[in-house]
Amino acid sequence: MTEKKSDTLLVHGGRDRAVSRGAVNIPPFRASTVLFSSLDELEHPRPGQAYRYGRQGSPTSRALEELYARLEGAAGAVAVPSGLAAINVALSACLGAGDHMLMSWGTYAPGISYARQFLGRMGVEIELYDPRIGAAITDLLRPNTRVVYMESPSSVSFEVQDVEAIVSACRNPGNDHPPVTVFDNTWGTPLYCRPLALGVDIVVQAATKYVVGHADAMLGLVACTAATLPKVRHCARLQGLAASPDDCYMALRGIRTMGVRMARQFETACRLAAWLERRPEVSGVLFPALPSHPDHEVWRRQFSGGAGLFAFMLPASFTRAQVANFVDKLELFGIGYSWGAYESLLISEHLQRGRGDLDQFPGWLLRLHAGLEDADDLEADLEKGFQRLADRPA
Ligand SMILES: *Cc1c(COP(=O)(O)O)cnc(C)c1O
């Protein structure tokens, strides 16, 4: 049977009526203890009877995992309490003392901190690489390189990685112990980017963003090939990283509308990015969906849409007070971390340390998340902000 399209899966996936007893939604199964009818049943679980103790997941987490795995085209998925926990599980399942990992310097900064400060302390050598490296990653591969970690587009700076070139370099027939490739798909989500189809082994997703979509829960998902699933699931269990049934319920509720939310938010982002690019005050827009973006062609090959998240720059000639006067008084854009929910956000950003091109972006870097508001109203709010930018605050 051919798999349904993702908009159909979003509605029908992960909805076993036997589990929900006919209700449309699988409820949050809040449980630590799960009761058995006899010692025999306790000691000899039936095949597939995985619901045995709260820490090992619930029918609610199973439903979410099943749906997410189908969206990614994965053998299975594992739900964990945050996006950063998803990065942790994917990496710690594959790495040990004496191993080497290549990690894009465009990776979400707390992911780099986790790798360096935690895995580094456990004896893993972390080497950062240029996200635009492509096939030249071959020169960095060592016999003990066990993981090549990608995130595309990069957090903050929005470079797009040539995933196919990197995967084929890792799978070079001369390499009989190829590294595991891991890809953070939070920006594209499985609706717009399918890393496993490009040959990637493990996908991580900060479900906190578009899957939950309402800024009210933290969650991570790890989608795996058949070869990597058992060790990733085992590693989550070893670390006691079980997602809460209530958060899984919120994610299941949010994911049903992810298709329409993302389509609209991406469309608004495209419009605002193109408008910002024409503003005389703006010195650059970092958004791979813009034809002017240096990685636009790679992006078109690997993505069919994307998030409502991008960055733009203002020249260093603006003072901090002017930029604050622009941002602080916006009516519709909140100032806060995270993104992917229904509301618009605007924050100032900094490039992470340890990258090779720190001087590439002089001036102010602002990260914009387009929400579900009317695009005319968002544009008008920014327009007023640019008028404030022109007046020097007293
Ligand atoms: C937010 C984010 C994460 C971490 O997710 P949390 O749920 O906040 O831990 C990981 N990767 C990317 C790209 C993110 O934007």
pLDDT in tens, the chain (394 residues): 688 999 999 999 999 999 999 999 999 999 999 999 999 999 998 876 678 999 999 999 999 999 999 999 999 999 999 999 999 999 999 999 999 999 999 999 999 999 999 999 999 999 999 999 999 999 999 999 999 999 999 999 999 999 999 999 999 867 778 999 999 999 999 999 999 999 999 999 999 999 999 999 999 999 999 999 999 999 999 999 999 999 999 999 999 999 999 999 999 999 999 999 999 999 999 999 999 999 999 999 999 999 999 999 999 999 999 999 999 999 999 999 999 999 999 999 876 545 555 456 678 999 999 999 999 999 999 999 999 998 765 5
Classify strands 180-184 and 202-206 as parallel, antiparallel or unpaired. parallel
Residue 231 falls in the annotated catalytic set: no
State if residue 114 touches ligand 1 by the CB under 6 angstroms criterion: no
Residue tagged active-site, from 184, 201, 247, 295: 184
What span, in angstroms and rounded, lies between the C-alpha atoms of 8 and 290? 29
Q: Name the active-site residue from 4, 30, 55, 171.
A: 55
Question: What is the residue with the minimal CA distance to atom 7 of ligand 1?
Answer: 83
Pick the closest to residue 345 from 316, 381, 292, 376 (CA basis): 381
Residue 360 confidence (pLDDT): 60
- In this prediction, residue 352 carries a pLDDT of 53
271 is catalytic: no
Query: What is the pTM for the complete model shown?
Result: 0.96
In whole angstroms, give the CA distance from residue 55 to residue 34: 11
pLDDT score of 83:
98
Which pLDDT does position 46 carry in this prediction?
Answer: 80
| Catalytic residue check, 374 | no
Write down the H helix ranges in 79-194: 83-92, 109-113, 163-170, 189-192
Rounded distance, CA 159 to CA 232, Å? 28
DSSP code at position 190? H
Q: Are 180 and 147 in contact (CB under 8 A)?
A: yes
The SS3 assignment for 80 reads strand
Q: Which of 206, 198, 169 is nearest to 298 (CA)?
A: 198
Question: Measured from the CA of 187, which atom of ligand 1 is nearest?
Answer: 13
Tell me the CA–centroid distance for residue 108 and ligand 1, in Å: 7
Q: What is the pLDDT of residue 355?
A: 54
Ligand 1: residue whose CA is nearest its atom 6: 83
State the distance from the centre of ligand 1 to the C-alpha of 83, rounded, in angstroms. Answer: 5
184 is catalytic: yes
Residue 343 CA to ligand 1 centre (angstroms)? 17
CB atoms inside a 10 Å sphere around CB 226:
9
Query: DSSP for 241-310?
Result: ----HHHHHHHHHHHTTHHHHHHHHHHHHHHHHHHHHH-TT--EEE-TTSTTSTTHHHHHHH-S---SEE
Would you state the pLDDT for residue 353?
Answer: 47
| Binding site membership of 88 for ligand 1 (Cβ less than 6 Å) | no
What's the pLDDT at 390?
84
Q: Given the CA of residue 85, which atom of ligand 1 is nearest to it?
A: 9
Dihedral sign for Cα 369, 188, 160, 289, please.
Answer: negative
Q: Is 364 in the pocket of ligand 1 (CB under 6 A)?
A: no
